[in-house]
Structure 1
């Protein structure tokens, strides 16, 4: 029964990852990140992704702040934020978020405010989807580790 729970969680995690790859949400960089995780750093991926989320939320706030400023004209500053977002998204394999950043940057390079606002909306949507799905994945991983770690004492025979 115990092993079945671990196997089911592992299968659920594989299924969720397969969906995220199929949808283009993640790419092979995420798998490379997973390969760096081992016994000495069992939470490596979730720690890296948590840092990514923290930095991304700062970047999203900055981008929104720039765009909502009536006097806004600093597309160069916006480009710097987008380059950071693209780089960090690439490093964790967040393919769709990175692709939206590319389109966003193209709009900012054309000083296209309406295009930037649309791109920001899409970016926030893709980011939230990614965050929710990775949160779900990490919860499954924690449950799997807990289920695998449960050990029942063996009865001593006299």
Structure 2
């Protein structure tokens, strides 16, 4: 019975991943990240992604604070935040977020504040979508491991 449940959950995970690839939310870098996960580090992907979420939320707050400052003129600083965001998004395979960052950076290089504000809104939307979908994926994965009866090695 449990094995069937684990298999169904594996299929659910694969369907969700296929959707995210089809939508262009993720790219093959996410699969490479998954290949680094093994019995010794069963939570590797979720740990890396949670660090990404933590850093991204700081970057989003910084970008919003910069843009909402009435005296704002530091497009160079915004570019640095965006480069950091693009790099970390690339490293986990967050393709759509990376692409929005590219457009955002182009607007910032043209000192286009309205374009930057629009890009920030799209970026926040894409970020929330990615975060929700990856949390869903990790929840299914946890359920699958429990259903499969995976036992983690005990560290003494």
TM-score clears 0.5:
yes
- The structure number with the bigger radius of gyration is 1
More moved, 141-150 vs 49-58: 141-150
After the TM superposition, list the runs of 4 or more consecutive aligned residues in structure 1 that deviate by more than 3 angstroms. Answer: none
Q: Distance in 1 between matches of 2:52 and 2:64?
A: 18
TM-score w.r.t. the length of structure 2 is 0.95
- Give the structure 1 partner of residue 97 of structure 2: 97
Distance 1:32 1:84, change over 3 A: same
Question: Aligned residue for 2:31?
Answer: 31
Q: Hey, what's the Cα distance between the residues in 1 that align with 2:138 and 2:95?
A: 19
TM-score in terms of structure 1 length: 0.94
In the other structure, the counterpart of 2:15 is: 15
Aligned partners of 1:112 and 1:60: how far apart in 2? 18
- The offset of 1:150, in angstroms, is 7.2
What is aligned with 1:55? 55
CA distance in 2 between partners of 1:6 and 1:66 (Å): 46
Structure 2: where are the runs of 5+ without partners? Answer: 152-156
- Whole-Å Cα distance in 2 between the matches of residues 75 and 9 of structure 1? 46
Matches within 5 A, 1:66-85: 66-85=66-85
User: For the residues of structure 1 that align with 2:27 and 2:78, how far apart are their CA atoms?
Assistant: 25
1:78 deviates by 0.1
- In the aligned structure 2, how far is the partner of 1:92 from the partner of 1:2? 31
Deviations 1:83-133 (A, max 9, x none): 000000000000000000000000000000000000000000000000000
Residue 41 of structure 1 aligns to a residue whose secondary structure is coil
CA RMSD of aligned residues (A): 1.0
The alignment of Structure 1 onto Structure 2 pairs a total of residues equal to 151
